Amino acid sequence: MPAKLTGAAALDAALAGVEADATDKTVALAAATLVLETARPAAHSTRVRATGRATASGRRGVVRFGSAATPWTAPSHFGHGTAGRPRAQGGWITGNMFLFQASDKRREEVYDLYVRRTTEAIRAHGLS
C-alpha cells in the first residue's frame, strides 16, 4: 500500500480553490472589455462598431463584432478577393484586422490582469 502524504488533501483543496478564483468569469470579462475598448474605434464602419460586444464563458473572454444586419463584418475584417482574383461581385476588399491589432495592443495589460488575479488567489488560499 502506498504511503499517504501528509497534508495532500489540504493541498488539493487549496489548489482547487486557487483554480476557481483565478479563472473567475469577471476577470475574463474584464480582459475582453479591455480589447473591445481598443477595437471598437478602429472599425471602419460605424454600424460594425456598434455591434461590438464582450462576453465571458467559463475561463475565457470573447470579443465579437457583427450581426445579421452587418453581413460584411467578416469580409471587412479579413478581406475578400485580391487584384488577381477579384470577388464575384467585382473588385476586392482590403482587410482591416482591427480586432487582431487591438488584441496585440492590449496583450500585456491582459496578461497583467490574469497574473494579478492568480497571485491574489494563491495568497488568499495560503499557498504563497
Q: Going residue by residue through the chain, which has 128 residues, state the pLDDT in tens, using 9 for 90 and above.
A: 465 667 777 777 777 777 776 667 888 899 999 999 999 999 988 999 999 999 998 778 999 999 999 998 988 888 888 878 888 887 787 888 999 999 999 999 999 988 888 888 778 777 76
Q: Is residue 118 part of a domain?
A: yes
Q: Is residue 1 part of a domain?
A: no
CB neighbours of residue 56 within 10 Å: 18
Which structural domain range is residue 89 located in?
11-67+74-124
Q: Is residue 2 part of a domain?
A: no
Q: Is residue 5 part of a domain?
A: no
Question: How far apart are the two ends of the chain, measured CA to CA in Å?
Answer: 32
Per-residue confidence (pLDDT) for residue 4, from 0 to 100: 67
Per-residue confidence (pLDDT) for residue 2, from 0 to 100: 60
Q: Is the pTM of this model over 0.85?
A: no
Q: Which helix (H) or strand (E) holds 61?
A: strand 60-64
CA distance 6 to 64: 48
Per-residue confidence (pLDDT) for residue 5, from 0 to 100: 67
Length of the chain: 128
Total number of domains in the chain: 1
Q: Is residue 55 part of a domain?
A: yes
Q: Is residue 32 part of a domain?
A: yes
* Residue of 40, 47, 34 lying closest to 73 (CA atoms): 47
Q: Is residue 20 part of a domain?
A: yes
